[in-house]
Amino acid sequence: MTDHRQLYGVYAAALTPLLPDFSPALNDIPPFLSFLAGRGCHGVLLMGTTGEGPSFTPADRLAVLRAALVVRQQNPDFRLLLGTGTPSLEETIQLTRLAFDLGADGVVVLPPYYFRKASDDGLFAWFGQVLSRAVPTGGALLGYHIPSLTGVPLSLDLLARLKDAYPDRFAGVKDSSADAEHARSLGQRFGADLQVFSGTDSLFSLALEAGAVGCITAMANLCSPDSRLVWEAFQGKATDASAPAKQARAQSRLSGTRAVMDRYPPNPPLYKAMLARLHPFAHWPVCPPLLPTPVDLVERALAELQAGGEALDR
C-alpha cells in the first residue's frame, strides 16, 4: 500500500471514457492514463466530478479502477485515487473498502450531500464510520471540499478533528472551493500536517505557497505539462535559472485557460470534446443528465483560447 505521504504532485481529475450506451469504455482507460502519465501527471482521480462519478454504480466505479490498474505495467509509480463518496453511508463504506482491496492508492470522498444542513458533529460521525470501517491503517482518505456542488462544506474544525482522531487514515483534502482565502486558511491552520490538493488551476501557485502538496484538476486532462512545470519549479526540482519565469508563464496560461473553460460549463462534455479535437482519442459521450457541448460552443472556446495564446496541445 502507498504511504499517504507519497501522494503529491499533479493529478488529473480524469475524464471517464464511455461507450454509446453510457457504460465505461474500459479498453480506452489504460491508453488514456498512459497518455496522462506521459504528460507529467503523477496520478489520477478516477470517478470524481469531472469523471462523472456520481452518475455510476459502485460496480462501474470498481470496473474503471480494475481497468486503470493496467497502467502500472508501464508506469509502476502512477498513483490511482478513486472517488468513493455517495450519500449512502454503507455504500460508501463498501466501495471504499473494495477500492483499497483492489489496489487503489487512496480514495477521495464527498460528504453525504443530500442532507445539506448536517452539523460538523454529524459529518464527523459519518466520516468516522468510513475511516474506521473501510480505510486500512496507513491508507489515505482525502475529504472532498466542493461546496458549490455538494452544498456541504468541510470546515477547518472538522478537518482538524478527523486528522486528530484518524492520523493514520485521514490524509487531507481536495480543496475545490475556488476560494483563495480558503486556500490560505488551510495552510495557516495545518501547515504540513494536512495534505492539501488544490482543485483550482488558477490558484495552484498560491496553494503551493500556502502549503499544498499538489493539485487534482479537470484541466490536467489537457494542460498537465504546465501544471507539472509549476509544481517542479516550486519544489526546486527545475535545474535552469529561468525556472521562476517559466513557472510564472505556466501559471498565467493555467489561469487564462481556466477562465475560458469556466465560461462553458459543465466541465466533462467540453473537456471530452477538446481532448478529441486535440489528441488521438474518441469523442466519448457523457452520461445524462449531461449533454454534449454544442459544436459551435466548442469552436468558440477554442477560438478564445487561441486568441489569448492559451494553446492546449502543448
pLDDT of 170 over the 90 cut: yes
Establish if 53 belongs to a structural domain. yes
- Structural domain count of the chain: 1
Per-residue confidence (pLDDT) for residue 177, from 0 to 100? 96
Q: What HEC string does the chain produce?
A: CCCHHHCCEEEEECCCCECCCCCECHHHHHHHHHHHHHCCCCEEEECCCCCCHHHCCHHHHHHHHHHHHHHHHCCCCCEEEEECCCCCHHHHHHHHHHHHHHCCCEEEECCCCCCCCCCHHHHHHHHHHHHHHHCCCCCCEEEEECHHHHCCCCCHHHHHHHHHHCCCCEEEEEECCCCHHHHHHHHHHHHHHCEEEECCHHHHHHHHHCCCCEEEECCHHHHHHHHHHHHHHHHCCCCCCCHHHHHHHHHHHHHHHHHHHCCCCCHHHHHHHHHHHHCCCCCCCCCCCCCCCCHHHHHHHHHHHHHCCCCCCC
Establish if 283 belongs to a structural domain. no
Q: What is the pLDDT of residues 206-258, one digit of tens each?
A: 999 999 999 999 999 999 999 999 999 888 866 666 767 888 899 999 999 99
User: What's the CATH code of the domain at 18?
Assistant: 3.20.20.70
Establish if 275 belongs to a structural domain. no
Active-site residue 264, yes or no?
Answer: no
Active-site residue 166, yes or no?
Answer: no
Per-residue confidence (pLDDT) for residue 143, from 0 to 100? 98
| 165 vs 177: CA distance, rounded Å | 24
Query: Which structural domain, as residue segments, surrounds residue 135?
Result: 4-224
Establish if 274 belongs to a structural domain. no
Active-site residue 144, yes or no?
Answer: yes
Q: Active site residue: 174, 217, 271, 293, which one?
A: 174
Establish if 217 belongs to a structural domain. yes
Establish if 163 belongs to a structural domain. yes
Q: What is the pLDDT of residues 126-148, one digit of tens each?
A: 999 999 999 999 999 999 999 99
C-alpha grid cell, residue 274: 477538446
Active-site residue 163, yes or no?
Answer: no
Q: Active site residue: 8, 11, 113, 144, which one?
A: 144
Q: Which residue has the higher pLDDT, 244 or 47?
A: 47
Establish if 281 belongs to a structural domain. no
Q: Active site residue: 2, 8, 16, 49, which one?
A: 49
